[in-house]
A and B are shown apart, each in its own frame.
Chain A
């Protein structure tokens, strides 16, 4: 307590801490390998990191996910370590789902809200041990987490830089990992976590992913990251291993009906406009809200919103006639009344359907499901063609693959 000042640094120390000024975007530890494979030179900014949008071919990269093995660098994903005797209680208060049901060695997909019940982010919560968790997400939340730690015996730190990650997704990935020496990987069930030896340390493998396919995510101490890539790469040839960028992953995740923060909804802390924040019930996460588990952040507001019918929006899957993706298209009822917006849309190569995720204003998408239309402006050689296409609310995921959950996965 009292007045505290940060210790004064010397000029040299300050200079040394300013490296980020000279680097517009960070490199991940896998950058040397990505650079060597990069042909399209399509980079994008992922949370301050230079990340590949595509490496060699958007379409073929997608097919690597669905018919071979695809390797995607997830190091820029924000990661927090939450550790201590009260870590479970802390996570339970923070997030929507019941963390007491999450066993050590398991992961679950979850979300967390501010006091008004508006979603701050969604992400995956890894229970590494009884008292140690890793929270992975899109946005940064350290101040929120630290404030939430008041009254809990828990330490929280960001480990985005210390821990690097790779997503390995596709039907041949289990076989690939086996070939790379991950003995027993085939017994890993969806959302299981297990440590495997790697060099003089370990790599933490979970059967998770963002593709709706068979796949794994591998987390490793950044100092050993490159050697992990090489280990997979060396074993990957016979399994059709390809490195991929975000475009391919995005196609797969839309097929799987998975949402992305600040693409399919605006997170509460980044929203500038008061009406943009969303309740879980407004972005398809109502199933996470566990009212049986006792207090958690935003609970009162969510309950009140439900009681008062305050959930104004609903996130739905749409199937749209034709084959032109309806990205950012306005959704109409009876071609006249504006009722929503498409937030993600693709022609699905696997479902062979024109699909989309959209946010509609209730009762549209909720009790009124028919006579919905999307207005697509297709720019064709400097002229817009306006298409009014019929849209049907359909269940998600658009693509459901048995191999995602089958244990042991098929061999190749």
Chain B
């Protein structure tokens, strides 16, 4: 039987980060990935002949600088390509508002007064995000057993809070659990900007802009940075698969051995300790430690005998909310859509159809009752514009994140999918007239499709709702925060752990650091 120091189950981006870091400490590491390619939800695939797209995540805005540095990702091919992409609001009735740089450090298309208000709000949010940022790279403390490190980290946050000044600090404490709609109303008057905030606060969460705590979603986004700019985003050259490729190269350079097409069927436990894993093929591989880069629910309820776990633990795990609410649309277009108000540079960025808070809130309403949005909110990109290799000559790829599309669709996605696709295409057509005539192929991935294709339970963006009750000390579940599990020698390192999802590499980084101190 082959044996390694560590097996990492799942070659998603977080699994690759953990594997590479463990290997760099001199360990013999084996990655086992079910799919034929590495990267998990960070991947580029052909969805129509000659058309390639990032089939799940499509924008890079959170890859943490510590991850890039620790793995020297730039030397392994990570590139921010043409640089930071703008965000543009799209609507049939109004001219676009344009956010340049890191989340609109410069605005176009809005009044001078509104631009000033935006500037103040943006600065405020970034100051507040700075406080939260330090928690991204610190493992959540175990309630009841605070370590020195935890105290220092909390102390650091306290200091940073104090440095904010009294008024700012009070404002932060007042705002932290607010909803994004109220925050936007307090500062702004332009519906286009309010709609954008409403979308960015809620995308990937089962929340509407008026749901309490929806501001947290925006903080989480702004805590990310790209090319040194807070809140900035890029469309990576080669799609998200290129990010996975850079990580795989770093892992390979560190000596990680990686197998694809190797779905793990079972984690074997002897006397309370994980000792090996068995592939679905029946092959067994031994290791001193096993790290699961999979969803926590999958890890515990599918891959092991529940009797190895306690009832209260399993109960909490099964209650972990992870019903996705986002669908993904891929269009193979004959040609670039015409948007007379936008230059090609702007069209190469991120375009958001969310004209106002009410629009997004109304889109959310049906999702509460198991129906999809009649008028969905859409974030679209045209990746082939900056990376022509993604589409045949002259043709164009459209990639869109569409919400809301509840995993538990009342009528079922078997019949609901065509109807929803029609809604989405109608919505796009009314904003980009003539688009439908150019559609050569359309692929809509519902949360159920995402679940089955990419093994993401619930098709959930974060591998588990990222809301106040499932964050930080309660992620993945209360009482079992962080990367340890009740099973000795078994760790978690995927998006279901702190700080959460997005292509950040942070769960993988934190987990690796934690494991290295535990298994020193």
The interface of chain A, by Cβ under 8 A from chain B, is 1-3, 89, 92-94, 114-115, 144, 147-148, 150-152, 294-295, 297-300
Contact = CB atoms under 8 A, between A and B. Distances in A.
A299 B313 CA distance: 13
B268 to A, nearest CB: 13
A3 B486 CA distance: 32
Contact of A3 (B301, B310, B410): B410
Contacts of A2: 370, 408, 410
B312 interface: yes
A300 B301 contact: no
Interface string B298-337: 0001000111111111110010000000000000000000
Interface residues of B, number: 20
B310 A300 contact: yes
A115 B311 contact: yes
Contacts of A1: 408
Contacts of A148: 311
Contacts of A298: 310
Contact of B408 (A3, A114, A294, A295): A3
Q: Which 5 A-B pairs have the closest CB atoms?
A: A151-B306, A115-B310, A115-B312, A148-B311, A93-B307
Contacts of B370: 2-3
A144 B408 contact: no
Given A3-B410, A114-B312, 15 more contacts: A2-B408, A3-B370, A94-B311, A114-B311, A115-B313, A144-B311, A147-B311, A147-B312, A148-B311, A150-B318, A151-B306, A151-B314, A152-B306, A295-B307, A300-B272
Interface in B209-256: none
B315 A147 contact: yes
A299 B273 CA distance: 13
Interface in B336-371: 369-370
Contact of A151 (B307, B408, B479): B307
B406 to A, nearest CB: 10
Contacts of A299: 272
Given A2-B370, A147-B315, A151-B301, A297 B410 contact: no
12 contacts: A2-B370, A2-B408, A3-B370, A115-B313, A115-B479, A151-B314, A295-B307, A295-B309, A299-B272, A300-B272, A300-B310, A300-B486
**A interface, by DSSP: helix, strand, loop or mixed?**
loop
A92 B305 CA distance: 14
Interface of B: 272, 301, 305-315, 318, 369-370, 408, 410, 479, 486
B308 A295 contact: yes
Contacts of B314: 147, 150-151
A1 B307 CA distance: 23
Nearest to B314: A150
Nearest to B305: A151
A299 B307 CA distance: 11
Nearest to B315: A147
A198 to B, nearest CB: 37
A98 to B, nearest CB: 14
Contacts of B310: 114-115, 297-298, 300
A94 B311 CA distance: 8
Contact of B306 (A92, A94, A115, A150): A150
Contacts of B308: 295
Contacts of B301: 150-151
A185 to B, nearest CB: 38
Of the listed residues B308, B310, B313, B486, the one surrounded by the most CB atoms of chain A closer than 10 A to its CB is B310
A89 B307 contact: yes
A294 B486 CA distance: 15
Contacts of B312: 114-115, 147
Given A150-B318, A151-B301, A297 B311 contact: yes
Nearest to B304: A151
A148 B305 CA distance: 13
A375 B408 CA distance: 63
A152 B410 CA distance: 29
A141 to B, nearest CB: 10
A295 B408 CA distance: 35
A226 to B, nearest CB: 38
A3 to B, nearest CB: 5
Nearest to A148: B311
B110 to A, nearest CB: 41
Contacts of B311: 93-94, 114-115, 144, 147-148, 297
Contacts of A294: 307
Contacts of B408: 1-3
B313 A295 contact: no
B487 to A, nearest CB: 9
Contacts of B272: 295, 299-300
Nearest to A300: B486
A94 B310 CA distance: 9
Contacts of A3: 369-370, 408, 410
A207 to B, nearest CB: 31
A270 B307 CA distance: 25
A148 B315 CA distance: 8
A115 B307 CA distance: 12
Nearest to B313: A115
Contacts of A152: 306-307
A147 B318 CA distance: 10
Of the listed residues B315, B369, B410, the one surrounded by the most CB atoms of chain A closer than 10 A to its CB is B315
Contacts of A151: 301, 305-307, 314
A70 to B, nearest CB: 38
A412 B275 CA distance: 62
A114 B479 CA distance: 13
Contacts of B313: 115
A151 B318 CA distance: 12
Nearest to A1: B408
A302 to B, nearest CB: 11
A148 B308 CA distance: 12
B143 to A, nearest CB: 12
B508 to A, nearest CB: 26
A319 to B, nearest CB: 39
Nearest to A151: B306
Nearest to A143: B315
B5 to A, nearest CB: 24
A94 B369 CA distance: 37
Contacts of B307: 89, 92-93, 151-152, 294-295
A300 B312 CA distance: 13
A94 B314 CA distance: 13
